[in-house]
Structure 1
Amino acid sequence: MHQALTTCPYCGVGCGVQAEVDGERIIGVSGDSTHPANFGRLCVKGSALHETLGEHGRLTRPRVDGVEVDWDTALDAVADRLQATRRDHGNHAVAAYLSGQLLTEDYYVANKLFKGFLGTPHLDTNSRLCMASAVAAYKRAFGADAVPCNYEDLEEAELVVLVGSNLAWNHPVLYQRIKAAKQINPLMRVVVIDPRVTDSCEIADLYLGLAPGSDARLFNGLLAWMDDRSKLDRVYLEKHTLGMEEALAAAREDDTSLEAIAADCDVDPERLETFFYWFSSHLHVVTLYSQGVNQSSSGTDKCNAIINCHLAGGKIGLPGAGPFSITGQPNAMGGREVGGLANQLAAHMDYHTPDALERVTRFWTTESLEPTLPDAPGHKAVELFEAIERGEVQAVWIMATNPVVSLPDANRVRAALAKCPLVIVSECMADTDLLPFADIVLPASSWSEKDGTVTNSERRISRQRGLLPPPGEARHDWWIIGEVARRLGFGEAFAYEHPSEIFDEHARLSGFENGEGPGEGRRLFDISGLTGLDRDAYDALAPIQWPVTRGAPSGTARLFEDGRFATPDGKARLIAVHPRGPEQALSEVRPLRLNTGRVRDQWHTMTRTGRAPRLMNHRSEPFIELHPDDAHHYGIDDKALARLEGAGGDYVGRVRVSKAQRRGEVFVPMHWTGRFSGAARMGSLLAPHCDPVSGQPESKHGAVSIAPLAPSWQATLIVADDLALDAAWCDSSRYWARIPLSDCQRWQLAGGKRGNDMPDWQAWLAEHLPVAPTLWCEDPGDGRLRAAGIADGKLRWWLMVGPPGELPGIAWLDERFQEAARGERLDAARQRRLLAGCDDGAADSGPVVCSCHQVGQSTIRHAIRSGDDSVEALGARLACGTQCGSCIPELKSLIEEARAEGNAQEGADEERAHASAEPKSENVTIA
């Protein structure tokens, strides 16, 4: 056994991971205490990484037209069909759609092949869906896609403003860093600006629950407020910026009175004034923003409205100051570095950069090709699939992403891919929503196998090391692309034998003629100081922030400290922002505003996190969150099923009634796919409106209707893993969700529209399950039923017909399936307890709150009633909240609920006591 250091593959924090490797297995992970992104902290997803590994469910052999083949056959087919497409339809008929899950080396080789040698500009990435508006805004303001801040700034700030970012759930390690800094420095203030009351509000000194889409109006108002009160840094503006007057004039096109701004943003005027005063009065301010700002049809303007306020106050280029866009994916920034967006070339050079086309052509030595690099940007993500639908793009290679789930109007994307003549998919999992549309399937390596680099949100490049061999015949993406390039006749330019060689070429291109073009300033992205690393030095590369140059060999922690920006004249630009509302308009038909986003324990489309059973326990089913008043208005109860209808389809989920949700708005998670539920792909609800500058879709501002789903029956079926049931058999249900457990699969089912259409469960079970019922208990009067199938003394399946609220503790049943997987037989006592679903006298622990230690809500509430009424006391008794800390806000909410219930009970007791002390009316004599 040995320990190895690598990097987490989830969010853009880029945490260092220490893995315990035993032969060809990783048996445990922990945070790397030496990595400057996390200093040993890990969230629950990172802590469960080793639980997501294994060959089960992995793609291990290539497939062509549905038939497994060897690699030579598959690679020949890819090359031949791509070449035929180019010959018959031209270079622009070929496209690629990449992912922030790829390593920088994979990204670099893909971009080089498609743009440099296949001559197509149509290479884009799913980073378009989360970061494109932030990128466009940085480029407009600073002249480069350059995040000026670092994580230490979050700890050194006097004021941290979270805008459209539920940091506690989406970037929990950074949230914990801010929380710890706030405890050290009680004068630090935190403001949360978000339509939803999220767990990030736990550390907030001020919360502004603004109306969705009103961010630009709020920050324009802040800019005018600063000017009215002489809070602008006129010296900084004069010396280092242009465009202030135009930006201020645009801000003043609307009424800039505090009351008008508050009304437009639907926030309390006093709270708004407090925020304006805090922002204006502190120099060391970090505004941290993410998808809540970016995923809008005016996301670029919203980002620039934030940046304007920082430039206007000189709150940039200082410790603890700056506009900080937090990246969603582990390598979204690395993909941007190599040109992985359709409007980029490579190494932060764009099509409009002077001499960039000619420079990249010479570096890649593509002068002899006809044609060379394309001379204009290609289709961005949504446009790309529209071009496929029109037939303009005839071949697309999709790598490490799932556009039939994540893109807006997802059903239309499915239809486009179904008619596309050539769909090539590089994927590591054997069962995703995308694979049925693939003509050629290429098995790719995954985390713990891939070897290369990633760049996190603070521009820090880290090594993601290959610790295990890929399963079966799975191969690295850079190798697959290189082999196809060789078959296309470009072998000399793609003769890489190791990712270190790709990284070296990438580093050399970043410094190639950097700053030598006419009228061109030096490109900020420059890692030429890392050229020449041999394999050993590459493998040992320590985390480092770019730029890394001869003048900054140890990297650069913070940008723009000298007030010089990456524009031709060195000055930053304030942008005139004209606020616009969402493109997806509400109507009588669709009166509710839809918000989408992540949940704490899941990642993207759950291909990785769905393999770790404990990550499925916090939010086990797709859900719809809405305000109690809306639930009452539409006649929908908490935990009932409901259906949303949007622009392109439906969504069915279990309702969570919450006062944290604004009235007239609903929230749904982004993660569920056709592998995990029948109708819970949030992309089908969204219209494909995009920001005109960045091309980023408007995923935060859908328009939907809601209606209760009132099935005549609901059921829970748990089956052993080796029964391998397919979701297709649930298609007749009105609702289904699959929830992986340790050695079994839990299915939540609902169906029927009338009281008399209950299935014949005996026949249903006989049709779908190979093991006949062994135990059976039925109440025909109310439709309740419990049954179980036992074979050779081992539990094979368990069924309960009735509302999910009547479920016993699933953990006990899961343990029985684990015993069966180990070959252990049930004793007579436990067979008798199977229908009850628990040991005699056992208490149900309730829904899981702490995923790290699997502590349930009921257990926590019991401990609180027993006197453990603080987070520290609960941690000492139950260990909840003592590892990653993500559950602490929920623990505090449970404590507050218990206190409120206790106060209400005390009030009721006092009222009863007072009433009993008063004389009864019949005993009162009235004179």
Structure 2
Amino acid sequence: MVCLMPCTKGVVMAETKSTCCYCGVGCGVVIEHEAGRIIGVKGDPDHPANFGRLCTKGATLHLSAAPDTLIARALHPELRSSRDEGRQRVSWDTALDTAADKFAAIIAEHGPDAVAIYGAGQLLTEDYYVFNKLMKGLIGSNNLDTNSRLCMSSAVAGYKLSLGADAPPCSYADIAHTKALFITGSNTAFAHPIAFRRVEDARKANPDIQLVVIDPRRTDTAEAADLHLALLPGTDIALYNAMLHVMLWEGWINRDYVDAHTEGFDALKKTVREYTPAMAATICGLDRKHIEQAAQIFATSPATMSMYCQGLNQFSFGTHNNSALINLHLATGQIGKPGAGPFSLTGQPNAMGGREVGGLSNLLSAHRDMANAEHRAEVAALWGVDSVPEKPGKSAVELFKALQTGEIKAVWIACTNPAQSMPDQALIHEALKTAEFVIVQEAFGHTETCAYADLLLPASTWGEKDGTVTNSERAITRVRAAVSAPGEARHDWAIVVDFARRLGTRLGKGELAARMFPYSAPEEVWNEHRESTRGRDLDITGLSYTMLETVGPQQWPFPEGASQGKVRLYEDGIFPTPSGRARFVVTEHRITAESPSARYPLHLNTGRLRDQWHGMSRTGLVARLYSHEPEPMLHMHKDDMERRQLANGDLVKVKSKRGDVVLKVVESATLRAGQSFLPMHWGGNTMGGQGVNVLLPSDFDPYSKQPELKHAAVQVEKYTAGKALVAMRRTEVDADGNLQPNPLAVMDRLRQWLPNFPYASLTLAGRTAPVIVLKARGEELAPELLAALDRELSLDDPTKVLSYQDSRKDVAKRALVEGDSLAAVRLAGETKAADWLTDMMVQGHSAAAVRPWLLAPLTQPPAGQAARGKVICNCFDVAEDDILSAFRAGESLDALQARTKCGTNCGSCVPELKRLRHSVSN
């Protein structure tokens, strides 16, 4: 839906409804645009996922589409003639003919399993569908997997194993109806903020709702809990089995429900009899009484709901983590009624849509199973091919291992960044180097994976795409384009269709390819997908683009003839299994893929930041989204820091069996001793080395094939080698509203220096006129390197630059003053004032305040000139130090919000505001 309205500049501004492209909450957005440019975004008040609310990431979407971000876009097809040469711009015909030639030659010589496609949960359903059809139908291989394998495949396998189908039974509306909410394996306040706003609303409306949070860390989500179970990483099964043990002992099992609607309970009983609360308390590191309390809350509440995410999924036993939790719901009848049931929170905006079309190497369209001959025949008939292959394809980890060994020769990577997001990054980078041919289909040309592309295909992205997505609660939403894609970028589905026709000709299947890929618009693709669901558990034959556009998002199933979709599933107690009964799954506690040892004594937990998303290819373009946590940092318990003689801000080397990273350390009260935490977003584009995932193991769950991205065993030691370096460049807004110099262009050029340093951090700071900040430490700061860096920052003209050097004290400063502002700074040897200088540049303070410091042998900031600290409220730029000062002075939270407006817009910072208030009052 597009709405036109007059703009004050005389240009007609339009509004187009779409969805947010970040997490699986699936928030509706209204994109404001004029003259072919996106100029604003706001929450869609009519969308049932968010009712107008947006988190910090969603509220800044328009900034990721600002004119200066075009420098980060892939705008034209690019091809390299050899691995020793750079890519050159080519036409789309040359690009796709080359791709078709390469794939056809490899298939002819080595067979269809020698090629693969690796996609993403950010693709639209229509994109997913044609990729799936290309690989499994035309090429004849199941080597199609996506980054949903890293995110949701254990949830998929858990639902199928226990309930019979990959179908979340709950809806967001159930949050308001629940009486006990268990959030487990999810820092929902950070990872799914708008869903957490609904939790806050529900508890405000009904203070009797009990919130139990199960998480090794005391996150902002856990701070809000009535009961926080800080279990040891990977011990969820022992906890859930012990809770079921208590329920059996106390007679809290809903025997009528178990007898009428489930099977396998007796076998499970035999197992959980061994899991006494005392036994589980030892395994989990919990108080036995808290386990008993959690069991009582879960079993005796009138309606119990659980919400969970990667903390259950990303383990080598993630499927059984899911099933062990679902066992509790089945045993107590807490499913199929308002406010009750197991609700998997999808990590990506359309991971659900990808699952619907069979977008994993072991699935087929419309929740069909590859192992089922009847299902394969149905898909073959739908696609008009003789058959679809029976053998499951390579899952994500298997795919890249096969690429590294040469079993797979060519890979097509679409809308994802495995050179940052996969575990065991050393293996992934080696695989991409080894591959004969790598196609990368991307909107952003600066990702780590793009560096390995032999062929780069520019794709459209948020605000430019047209199709559908499905969110965590099974709601399908129409995604509409507000503006045209820049340069020669094309829609993902259209690229695939064009390629498929060319490949078909080369494989001697030209007529077949033309019949299989007749599409000229995404609606034609969607209509075929819709028909594939007829009679299936996710039947959407009653939906159409027109209905989604006029009525709004709809939940599946929505079969032909229905008047609405299903808000919740299994209300009749009938499940999509051969017997019609849900299945209890026997689950046993297993240890993590890696356990702490004398050499690697610390648990490493990974997770998400509030203001960044995945590999930061989009959020990393927006300066203000760095302000909450400005660079990669290892969070540690104070006892572990003291034992290693570490202080906040010290550099540490974090090492696992696979690799190491060097970054800053920060004390955290969220962790127990023996544990550490590292956000998963930082890759080789923003830090030294190959990013944080170089530390993580590639061990995966045997059922879901999802790798253990949540946990590793590591050692941590202080890093003091080499010399420190800081380089900063401030930008200005010119008369046309553009940033000069372009910050993303400067960052792109500075990336060439990152491999020179064991420690490096390349980020942005500020808001309107961001500052580019490079922090590094190298074994030796060679004069030629410093000279090249000075040229990049316009610090090479001695007539314009202030400089100070004292070799004896290892102090070297260089600064550029433009007008009355500090425009650029380079510090070498000693960098203690870096954060203060960043604040001075961000705030635009007069250079006169800095000049005396620049021309003196001082290293620390001047007295009383400390940095302002991290920004808690991104909407109104309110920093932590200011908030704490207000609370210490006796100001109430309400008064603070009235004065500064912090927490009154998107609400993402409200949990942290409450935590800061609590820390002062205690």
Which residue does the alignment assign to 2:28? Answer: 16
Q: How far is the alpha carbon of 1:807 from its aligned partner?
A: 2.7
Which residue does the alignment assign to 2:506? Answer: none
State whether structure 2 residue 45 is matched by structure 1 residue 33: yes
User: How far apart, in 2, do the equivalents of 1:249 and 1:270 lie?
Assistant: 23
State whether structure 2 residue 411 is matched by structure 1 residue 389: no
State whether structure 2 residue 625 is matched by structure 1 residue 603: no
Q: How far is the alpha carbon of 1:760 from its aligned partner?
A: 9.5
Which residue does the alignment assign to 1:362? Answer: 381
User: How far apart, in 1, do the equivalents of 2:793 and 2:890 lie?
Assistant: 47
Q: How far is the alpha carbon of 1:729 from its aligned partner?
A: 2.4
Which residue does the alignment assign to 2:329? Answer: 310
- Secondary structure at 2:126 match in 1: helix
Which residue does the alignment assign to 2:17? Answer: 5
User: Structure 2-normalised TM-score?
Assistant: 0.90
Q: How far is the alpha carbon of 1:431 from its aligned partner?
A: 1.2
User: Counterparts in 2 of 1:674-753, with a 5 A limit?
Assistant: 674-679=684-689, 681-711=691-721, 713-719=723-729, 721-722=741-742, 724=746, 725-741=749-765, 743=769, 745-751=771-777
Which residue does the alignment assign to 2:104? Answer: 83
Which residue does the alignment assign to 2:514? Answer: 491
State whether structure 2 residue 306 is matched by structure 1 residue 287: yes
Bigger mean CA deviation after superposition, 655-664 or 129-138 = 655-664
State whether structure 2 residue 144 is matched by structure 1 residue 123: yes
Which amino acid is 1:587 matched to? Answer: S
Contact 1:602 1:671 in 2 (8 A): yes
User: How far apart, in 1, do the equivalents of 2:48 and 2:532 lie?
Assistant: 27
Q: How far is the alpha carbon of 1:413 from its aligned partner?
A: 1.0
Which residue does the alignment assign to 2:538? Answer: 525
Which residue does the alignment assign to 1:862? Answer: 885
User: Counterparts in 2 of 1:53-452, with a 5 A limit?
Assistant: 53=65, 54=67, 55-65=70-80, 66-252=87-273, 254=274, 256-367=275-386, 372-452=387-467
- Secondary structure at 2:665 match in 1: strand
Which residue does the alignment assign to 1:917? Answer: none
Q: Structure 1, residues 520-549: CA drift from partner, whole Å, max 9, x if none? A: xxx311111125x5xx55654610100011
Q: How far is the alpha carbon of 1:353 from its aligned partner?
A: 3.0
User: Counterparts in 2 of 1:438-837, with a 5 A limit?
Assistant: 438-488=453-503, 489=510, 490-511=513-534, 514=535, 523-530=536-543, 533=545, 539-540=549-550, 542-679=552-689, 681-711=691-721, 713-719=723-729, 721-722=741-742, 724=746, 725-741=749-765, 743=769, 745-751=771-777, 763=787, 766=790, 769-770=793-794, 771-773=796-798, 774-778=801-805, 782-790=809-817, 796-801=823-828, 802-804=830-832, 807-808=835-836, 810-814=838-842, 816=844
Which amino acid is 2:671 matched to? Answer: Q
Q: How far is the alpha carbon of 1:712 from its aligned partner?
A: 5.5
CA shift in 2, pair 1:855/1:758, >3 Å: farther
Which residue does the alignment assign to 2:83? Answer: none
Contact 1:283 1:313 in 2 (8 A): no
Question: Larger Cα Rg: Structure 1 or Structure 2?
Answer: 1
Contact 1:711 1:734 in 2 (8 A): no
Which amino acid is 1:572 matched to? Answer: A
Q: Structure 1, residues 348-390: CA drift from partner, whole Å, max 9, x if none? A: 11112351111111111113xxxx3111211111011111122
Q: How far is the alpha carbon of 1:650 from its aligned partner?
A: 0.9
Contact 2:162 2:326 in 1 (8 A): yes
Which amino acid is 1:481 matched to? Answer: V
Contact 1:546 1:555 in 2 (8 A): yes
Which amino acid is 1:39 matched to? Answer: F
Bigger mean CA deviation after superposition, 805-814 or 217-226 = 805-814
Contact 1:548 1:556 in 2 (8 A): yes
Which residue does the alignment assign to 2:895? Answer: 873
CA shift in 2, pair 1:157/1:767, >3 Å: same
Q: Structure 1, residues 4-32: CA drift from partner, whole Å, max 9, x if none? A: 21100000000011122222122221111
CA shift in 2, pair 1:551/1:227, >3 Å: farther
Contact 1:301 1:579 in 2 (8 A): no
Bigger mean CA deviation after superposition, 827-836 or 233-242 = 827-836
Q: How far is the alpha carbon of 1:762 from its aligned partner?
A: 7.5
Which amino acid is 1:439 matched to? Answer: D
User: How far apart, in 1, do the equivalents of 2:111 and 2:889 lie?
Assistant: 73
CA shift in 2, pair 1:680/1:835, >3 Å: farther
Which amino acid is 1:104 matched to? Answer: T
CA shift in 2, pair 1:581/1:552, >3 Å: farther
User: How far apart, in 2, do the equivalents of 1:539 and 1:277 lie?
Assistant: 45
Bigger mean CA deviation after superposition, 806-815 or 133-142 = 806-815
Contact 2:689 2:755 in 1 (8 A): no
User: How far apart, in 1, do the equivalents of 2:62 and 2:352 lie?
Assistant: 25
Q: Structure 1, residues 379-435: CA drift from partner, whole Å, max 9, x if none? A: 111011111122111111100111121111111111011111111110111211111
State whether structure 2 residue 874 is matched by structure 1 residue 851: yes
Which residue does the alignment assign to 1:889? Answer: 911
Structure 1 unaligned runs (5+)? 515-522, 817-825, 901-927
CA shift in 2, pair 1:279/1:813, >3 Å: same
Q: How far is the alpha carbon of 1:731 from its aligned partner?
A: 3.4
- Secondary structure at 1:96 match in 2: strand
User: How far apart, in 2, do the equivalents of 1:841 and 1:575 lie?
Assistant: 62
Which amino acid is 1:199 matched to? Answer: D
User: How far apart, in 2, do the equivalents of 1:152 and 1:410 lie?
Assistant: 40
Q: How far is the alpha carbon of 1:680 from its aligned partner?
A: 6.0
Q: How far is the alpha carbon of 1:860 from its aligned partner?
A: 1.8
Q: Structure 1, residues 223-278: CA drift from partner, whole Å, max 9, x if none? A: 121111111111111111100011111222x3x33222212211112222211111
Contact 1:809 1:845 in 2 (8 A): no
Q: How far is the alpha carbon of 1:347 from its aligned partner?
A: 1.0
User: How far apart, in 2, do the equivalents of 1:629 and 1:183 lie?
Assistant: 37
User: Structure 1-normalised TM-score?
Assistant: 0.90
Contact 1:737 1:748 in 2 (8 A): yes
Which amino acid is 2:324 matched to? Answer: A
User: How far apart, in 1, do the equivalents of 2:150 and 2:792 lie?
Assistant: 40
User: How far apart, in 2, do the equivalents of 1:311 and 1:600 lie?
Assistant: 33
Which amino acid is 1:884 matched to? Answer: C
Contact 2:646 2:718 in 1 (8 A): yes
User: How far apart, in 1, do the equivalents of 2:201 and 2:820 lie?
Assistant: 52
Which amino acid is 2:283 matched to? Answer: D
CA shift in 2, pair 1:224/1:276, >3 Å: same
Give the superposed CA RMSD.
Answer: 2.4
Contact 1:396 1:422 in 2 (8 A): yes
Which amino acid is 2:760 matched to? Answer: W
CA shift in 2, pair 1:866/1:781, >3 Å: farther
CA shift in 2, pair 1:898/1:238, >3 Å: closer
User: How far apart, in 2, do the equivalents of 1:851 and 1:595 lie?
Assistant: 26
Q: How far is the alpha carbon of 1:746 from its aligned partner?
A: 2.8
